Chains A and B, each alone.
Chain A
């Protein structure tokens, strides 16, 4: 059943207005992320990258070893490839969070089809990002939407109370 085009069973949604520099603001209907969303992302192949590791050497180029004789390693957190990989990872997480949060918004659709297998999700995220960029959404816009998604995804206490109330009769039972 729908009322004004909105499904009545979809509770917990929040209307979010994103101002646009060109005029009419973009009105989005956001929903909280499902619990365990990060696990869902991992199942779909969205993993944080690992920093490359190199063998530590002294000033003479000799390999440094610990007391057991094992070579000491160092993670290269400033490696340019790693930095771009981590940027891409955060971008994919942000995009997929927004897509998931927009699941109850009937007004907004993406051209890229939702993948049928878990393997295609990284490409799906990249294609959606390209769509968002083409639609004029900036990185700042995505951050604003993500902040709102985080906020409504942290309202579990009130959502739980709302869900519990659904199990109780609103009017007292008729005793006559």
Chain B
């Protein structure tokens, strides 16, 4: 995998999560905080699994 030049912002992670889960960004922002964090955490773990799996 290519090395990223800089850590990504929260906004980037929101867009990546929306992309994966087929959500509109407006749908994401209208969710409660706890649910938003759950989706971001899920997406983050999926990314880690995808980059570390053989």
A residues near B, CB below 8 A? 9-12, 31-37, 39-40, 43, 103, 156, 159-160, 162-164, 166-167
Contact = CB atoms under 8 A, between A and B. Distances in A.
Please classify the interface of chain B as helix (H, G, I), strand (E, B), loop, or mixed, using the class held by over half of its residues. Answer: helix
B36 A34 contact: yes
Nearest to B14: A35
Nearest to B42: A167
Interface of B: 10, 14, 25-26, 28-34, 36-38, 40-42, 44-45
A164 B33 contact: no
B34 A9 contact: yes
B36 A35 contact: yes
B13 to A, nearest CB: 9
Q: Identify the interface centre among B28, B38, B41: most chain A CB within 10 Å of its CB.
A: B41
B25 A36 contact: yes
A34 B14 contact: no
A160 B44 contact: yes
Contacts of B32: 34, 103
A46 to B, nearest CB: 14
B37 A160 contact: yes
Nearest to A9: B34
Contacts of B44: 160, 164
A17 to B, nearest CB: 22
Contacts of A39: 26, 29
